[in-house]
Structure 1
Amino acid sequence: MENCLFCKIAAKQIPSSIVHEDDDLLVFKDINPAAPVHLLIIPKVHVSTLSDCTPEHAPLLGKMMSLVPKLAADHNIAVTYDEQGQPSRGFKFLINSGPDGGQEVYHLHMHLYGGPRPWRGMRT
Structure 2
Amino acid sequence: MTDCLFCRMVAGEIPADVVHRTDRVLAFRDINPQAPTHVLVVPQDHHATVGALAEADPALLGDVVSAAHAVARQEGLVGADGAEPGYRLVANTGPDAGQTVHHVHLHVLGGRGLGWPPG
1:34–1:122 Cα contact (<8 Å) kept: no
TM-score where L is the length of structure 2: 0.88
Letter in 2 for 1:4: C
TM-superposed CA distance for 1:88, in Å, is 3.8
Q: Which runs of 5+ in 1 are unaligned?
A: 82-86
Partner Cα distance (2:39, 2:64) in 1: 12
2:41–2:107 Cα contact (<8 Å) kept: yes
TM-superposed CA distance for 1:57, in Å, is 1.0
**Partner SS for 1:72:** helix
TM-superposed CA distance for 1:14, in Å, is 0.4
The alignment covers a number of residue pairs equal to: 118
**Partner SS for 1:53:** helix
Change (3 A) 1:78 1:54: closer
Q: What residue number does 2:108 align with?
A: 112
Partner Cα distance (1:71, 1:52) in 2: 23
Partner Cα distance (1:28, 1:66) in 2: 15
TM-score where L is the length of structure 1: 0.85
Partner Cα distance (2:12, 2:55) in 1: 29
2:25–2:67 Cα contact (<8 Å) kept: no
Shift >4 Å, 4+ stretches: 121-124
**Partner SS for 2:27:** strand
Q: What residue number does 1:52 align with?
A: 52
Kindly report the root-mean-square deviation, in angstroms, between the aligned alpha carbons of the 2 structures: 2.1
Whose radius of gyration is greater, 1 or 2?
A: 1
TM-superposed CA distance for 1:55, in Å, is 3.8
